[in-house]
Amino acid sequence: MLRKFKIYWELMRPFTLLAPTVGFISGGLIAIGASSRVVLSFAYIYPIILGGLSAAFLNGASNIVNQYFDISIDRINKANRPLPSGRISLRESRLFSILLYSLSFILAYLVPNKQFIIIVLITTLITYGYSAPPFRSKRWAIAANLTIAIPRGCLLIVAGWTAVKSFFNFEPWFIGSIFALYLLGAASTKDFSDIKGDRMYGCNTLPIILGPKKAAITIAPFFVLPFLLIPYGKINGILTGSHIVLYPLTVILMGWGSYTAYLVLRKPEELTLEANHISWKHMYLMLLVAQIGFAFAYLV
């Protein structure tokens, strides 16, 4: 039983559940601390917790769907994963993804603001369409990155906001757009090491279309430039968080992003050799720090 549990846990790719959970909580805390402030109380913490769990289950389900439809690619690129290695069957993975989707929808329904479940349903359609036919957007480079950036960047922050307030407010969409622009380029770091299997099964990612060097040059600005929108938003009254946090956060993220872009540009060919190149780890950690930093800026 324990062995099976570990396989299911691995199938969910637990490390990747951090960003949607933290991102949702961040969006909720941002809403609490935004202009026309609300009091930090259980009435708001309760839906934030429910929504954070819903976001985590939804991301776990989409991870399984991705592995389900990518099993042939993963036999080449990631043969040690549960499905291509045969440690779990396609039927078991399908049933587990249905369970996770169900848990996500139930928790989303329990969030008082029903705008949240609308975002959950939209996110489900987008993320499912990324992996599954007939759309399977991961076959086309720009469409693939958009279907990662929109739900996991923009909609995630807005979803967290809806745990506390209505999404008919420009501020969460502006913040979400910063994350979406970042992921629009940064998400491609995972594609470099998957070239062999992706090419064989018709997934035309940026590294395949442009080659590793040109792809690296193309995505490098996305590690830095989106964060210029933070001071722009503060100066123009769009962002109501503390400038004492937001301005240093901008410097940290742009400096860190510049270093990550350097790692990508230094030897692009190295990205094709490692399943988890150090730039991917930096990309993911930057995302988490940005989410936490925004939340802190709105609570101080």
Region 67-84: what's the mean pLDDT?
95
Cβ atoms of 96 and 64 within 8 Å: the answer is yes
If phi > 0 it is left, if psi is from -120 to 50 it is alpha, else beta; for residue 13 that is left
Burial class (CB in 10 A: 0-12, 13-18, 19+), 241: buried
Which residues does 55 contact at the CB level (< 8 Å), separation at least 6? 20, 21, 23, 24, 104, 156, 159
pLDDT reported for residue 28: 95
DSSP category for residue 225: G
Q: How confident is the model at residue 223 (pLDDT cuts 50, 70, 90)?
A: very high
Each residue of 141-159: b (16+ CB within 10 Å) or e?
bebbbbbbbbbbbbbbbbb
Write the DSSP symbol of residue 203.
Answer: -
Residue 132 — φ and ψ, nearest 5°? -100, 145
87 secondary structure, DSSP code: S
Q: What is the pLDDT of residue 39?
A: 67
For residue 144, the model assigns a pLDDT of 95
Rounded CA-CA distance 171/155 in Å is: 12
Check pLDDT > 70 for residue 276: no
Domain over 21-34+42-299 is classified CATH 1.10.600? yes
User: What mean pLDDT is reported for the chain?
Assistant: 94
pLDDT for position 244: 97
Residue 87: per-residue pLDDT: 95
The answer to whether residue 40 scores a pLDDT higher than 90 is no
Within 10 A of 166 (CB to CB), how many other CB atoms are there?
A: 11
- pLDDT of res. 1: 75
Q: What is the pLDDT of residues 236-263, one digit of tens each?
A: 999 999 999 999 999 999 999 999 999 9
Q: Please indicate whether residue 249 or residue 36 has the higher confidence score (pLDDT).
A: 249
Q: What is the DSSP string of 95-128?
A: HHHHHHHHHHHHHHHHSSSTHHHHHHHHHHHHHH
CB 164 within 8 A of CB 116: no
Q: How far, in whole angstroms, is CA 264 from its chain's centroid? A: 20
Position 271 pLDDT exceeds 80: no
In this predicted structure, what is the pLDDT of residue 269?
A: 80
